[in-house]
Amino acid sequence: MKNKVLIGIFTLLLFACGSGEEKKEEKESMNSRDEIRLKQYQVQGAKVYATYCANCHQQDGKGLASLYPPLAGADYLLENLPRAACIIKNGQSKEIVVNGVTYNQMMPGNPITNLEVAEVLTYIGNAWGNEAGLVGVKDVDKWLEECED
Ligand code: HEC
């Protein structure tokens, strides 16, 4: 009887430790999946950026004079990624202040998929010293449904 209880406890312990380990492994492989996705998005996003954005915001992300705001180190971009996703997809024309400078120009919308929005946002969010991390397409899907216009 005593033995059975001991075996029972032992089995429980084994089970508890085992499932803890599994969870840890699951978490680690999630993280490395995210890291791989971050790199993929950055590579794809760089292509989207070169095609659709660099003309105005420039290859170095510094923008152009009082016409095009910067993306490198841009407080306006980094403080609100959902808003940035909406601007990238739908364009925007109103007065905004980026890093203390006022811009009031027209940015046209872009004919790109939600995935491309996530990729280019991941690219500009992690280029030129920016450190926003991975921007997933599921988040972008949700954000784009909630754009103010
Ligand atoms: C025709 C020029 C043009 C193109 C092309 C363009 N933008 Fe813009 N972008 C602007 C202008 C002008 C503004 C400021 C709009 C305003 O005053 O409301 C702006 C604003 C922004 C902002 C918010 C302000 C900031 O600096 O944080 C982001 C983010 C942005 N653009 C990203 C992009 C991305 C990414 C692309 C490519 C998919 C792109 N833009 C393509 C001209 C452009």
Contacts with 118 (C-beta within 8 Å, 6 or more apart), sequence order: 41, 85, 135, 136, 137, 139, 140
Residue ranges around ligand 1 (CB below 6 Å): 52-53, 55-57, 68-71, 74, 76-77, 84, 87-88, 92-94, 96, 98, 103-108, 110, 120, 124
- pLDDT, one tens digit per residue, over 77-125 is 999 999 999 999 999 999 999 999 999 999 999 999 999 999 999 999 9
Q: State the pLDDT at residue 28.
A: 74
Predicted confidence (pLDDT) at residue 15 exceeds the cutoff of 90: no
Mean pLDDT of the chain: 90
For the chain, state the CA radius of gyration.
23
Cβ neighbours, 10 Å, residue 140: 25
> In this predicted model, what pLDDT tens digit does every residue of 70-81 receive, in sequence order?
999 999 999 999
Asked whether residue 11 carries a pLDDT value surpassing 60, the answer given is no
Q: To test the ligand 1 pocket, which listed residue (107, 116, 123, 149) has its Cβ within 8 A of the most ligand atoms?
A: 107
HSE-up of residue 56 (Cα within 13 Å, Cβ side): 15
Atom 6, ligand 1: residue with shortest CA distance? 53
Residue 48 CA: nearest ligand 1 atom is: 38
Query: What was the pLDDT predicted at 127?
Result: 98
